Amino acid sequence: MAFVVSSGELATTGAGVLPAYAPMTLRAAPWEYETIWRTQPQVRTVIGFIARNIAQLGVHVFRRISDTDRERLRDHPLAQLLSEPLPGMTQYRFIERVVSDRCLYDNFYGIKLRLNGRLRVLPVPPPLIRPYGGNWIAPQYYETAGGRQFGPDEVIHIHGYSPNDLTYGESPIESLRDLILESDEANKQRRAMWKGGARLTGVLVRPPDAPEWDEKDRRRFREMWRTFSQGGGAEGGTPILEDGMDYKAVGFNPEQAQYIEARKLTREECAAAYFIPPPLIGILDHATYSNIKEQHAHLYQDTLGPWTVDLQQEFGAQILPDLPGDNTDVYCEFNVESKMRGDFESQAAAASTATGGPWMTRNEIRARNNLPAVEGGDDLIVPLNVTAGGLASPRDTAPGSSAAPGPQPRGLPARKASGRPSTLGSFTAERDALERTLVGFTERQADALLVAAGAKADDEGAGMPDLIELWAQGSEDRLAQLQALLAHHGFRLAQLGAWDVLDVHNPEAENWSAEVMLAWILAAAETHAAQHEEAGKQAVAAVQEAGGDGWQEALQTAAAAWGSAAAARARTASTELRSFGGHDAASASGLTKKIWRTGGTNPRASHKAQNGEAVSLDDVFSNGLRWPGDGQGPTEELVNCNCSLDYEAS
């Protein structure tokens, strides 16, 4: 890799010498884009909005340890380069320029420098550098305004799409050119109007039977009217129309010309060209509190998300290979998560629910408020109503009466539900998502065990290693991850079941809140995770007990069986969670009777026999289940059950 060698004199690159320099191509001259950015407020507003919002995110550098783990690298050369691309240049200013150049020109150029043995990046304005020679796939070299040439490996060139070649990006400004020109002409007309003192435009009509004027009368009236009209009516007083004269306006006034609407249209079109929701740049015609809040959440997903992904990958492809040290599995990522966390109240409530109790000490809170620590303030205070395996959060009202998953007293809902969440899909889609996730997780864990066992056997050279010991090493992490993924999908499945009932019997969701189900869902996730972990452990123990030279093949067979068990567990848990959600919604909606409906193409005999069986809401059916998939029932009644319930009010 060749670099510009410099002892700190950045002018040796030759950039910045000729402001009028432009690439010798058939594309629009870059200085036209500069003029548009300087003179058109709509373009400057949109580009500034994108650049400033991305620049303030910050870029973090990580090393991928596994599919579920990563390490933050604060001292890696890539992190140091991005934090200070040039001496005195902050990360914010660098990212702002990168994004602004991409927005305006669809091209960003940076020259790689070696300053005092350290890689640096000098951003070069696109009008001062050009790709030259080569072909439609790659240029031969880059040339700056001062005539200095750099090889493609010495230049960072981040660009967008062009229909003509792979070496350049076409500016979005081109698609806005006619609209911007029209807006500019309208601005010129307005300037001319105000420059003339808002001169009235019209004609004076004199009746046919009015007496004739001599030259003196004409001159007198002409001077009087000129004095009035040139001052816009402000300096010439009130004109006197003689002999029945009448004034008829000619032309458009500002309201008829729709100047405000035209300016708004230009801003909307500019926003659309950069895929920005109008309310985010001040167009509030159809804005409400709720949709602005939703659009703010989508800002970092749909609007700025593609920009951040593009830059992350370009930095990794064009900068990372030139840096020293171990760059294996190293990547950078914009800190979008910090913008998606919600306000402090939402974060605190989510953290309390996720951890199962209070999560900050008194001294931590005092430190945030600049108060000194107090004795005993480093201990968590756990309210008496928060118990292990009971409530999920101190925000709930009463513990359950059984450690096994079951419906908990609802108490009062945290809030009235506003309607079925638009993010919920169909039951089949959510069930399949849980199955894919659980099976994929199981297969990864099984593969990791197989690799670890093989490596252990090779190191020791003594046949089969202690498989139970290897299994136990990752048990705690597996359980935590299993509980998390089961709780995540479980909450969605329970909501689907609840809304199936609410849509029919209680569309306004009166007296019901999804958050009240969290305690049961977390307990169910803990139970299913423990059962799935135990199933894997028993399979490994069976291989350990059997021993023999074929232990590796036996372990592979056990791993495959564990994966099949994961698919069955996902389907069974999905039925249970949907049934529980429907039961919870029925209870909150005042329904008192439940009816068993047999489902699936090949239902078991006991379920087929009880099709249409009705019991009160709090009773169990003849097979001993409260609902399809009820975890308290025998296993033979649960696996792969596809039945459902209907509800009625007696």
Q: Is the pLDDT of residue 128 over 60?
A: yes
pLDDT at position 398 is: 39
What's CA 464's distance to the chain center, in Å? 47
> Tens digits of per-residue pLDDT, 432-491?
989 999 988 888 888 888 888 877 776 666 678 888 888 888 788 888 888 888 988 889
pLDDT at position 233 is: 47
pLDDT at position 195 is: 62
Most confident by average pLDDT, 40-44, 158-162, 613-617: 158-162
Q: Is the pLDDT of residue 238 over 70?
A: yes
- Under 8 Å between Cβ of 304 and 54: yes
d(CA 533, CA 554): 18
Tokens, residue 207: 């009746």
Q: Is the pLDDT of residue 15 over 50?
A: no
Q: Is the pLDDT of residue 191 over 70?
A: no
pLDDT at position 111 is: 96
- The CA-atom distances, in angstroms, between 101 and each of 323, 602, 641 are 24, 62, 58
pLDDT at position 393 is: 46
> Tens digits of per-residue pLDDT, 80-115?
999 999 999 999 999 999 999 999 999 999 999 988
State the average pLDDT over residues 123-138: 92
State the average pLDDT over residues 578-584: 90
pLDDT at position 344 is: 57
Percent of the chain past pLDDT 70, that is, above it, reads 76
pLDDT at position 242 is: 80
Q: Is the pLDDT of residue 50 over 90?
A: yes
Q: Is the pLDDT of residue 274 over 90?
A: no
State the average pLDDT over residues 129-142: 91
pLDDT at position 199 is: 56
Q: Is the pLDDT of residue 35 over 50?
A: yes
Question: What is the average pLDDT score of the chain?
Answer: 78
Q: What are phi and psi of 646, to 5 degrees?
A: -110, 155
d(CA 561, CA 555): 10
Tokens, residue 127: 């009008």
Confidence band for 27, pLDDT divided at 50, 70 and 90: very low
> Which distant-in-sequence residues (6+ apart) come within 8 Å of 313 by Cβ?
none
Q: Is the pLDDT of residue 413 over 50?
A: no
pLDDT at position 264 is: 64
- Under 8 Å between Cβ of 33 and 74: no
Angle between helices 518-546 and 475-505 (to 10 degrees): 140
State the average pLDDT over residues 341-351: 58
Confidence band for 17, pLDDT divided at 50, 70 and 90: very low
State the average pLDDT over residues 45-58: 92
Q: Is the pLDDT of residue 630 over 60?
A: yes
d(CA 73, CA 312): 15
pLDDT at position 19 is: 34
pLDDT at position 391 is: 46
State the average pLDDT over residues 491-508: 89
pLDDT at position 210 is: 84
Percent of the chain past pLDDT 90, that is, above it, reads 20
> Tens digits of per-residue pLDDT, 374-384?
888 887 776 55
pLDDT at position 310 is: 95
**Per mean pLDDT, which range of 153-157, 288-292, 346-350, 551-555 is the poorest?**
288-292
pLDDT at position 315 is: 95
pLDDT at position 556 is: 87
pLDDT at position 641 is: 80
pLDDT at position 251 is: 58
pLDDT at position 56 is: 92
The domains of the chain are located at: 4-174, 202-250, 341-382, 427-591
Question: Which pTM does this prediction carry?
Answer: 0.49
pLDDT at position 10 is: 42
- Under 8 Å between Cβ of 320 and 112: no
Say how many residues make up the chain.
Answer: 650
pLDDT at position 410 is: 46
pLDDT at position 395 is: 46
DSSP, residue by residue, 298-356: HIIIIISHHHHHHHHHHHHHHTGGGS-S--TTEEEEE-GGGGSS--HHHHHHHHHHHHT
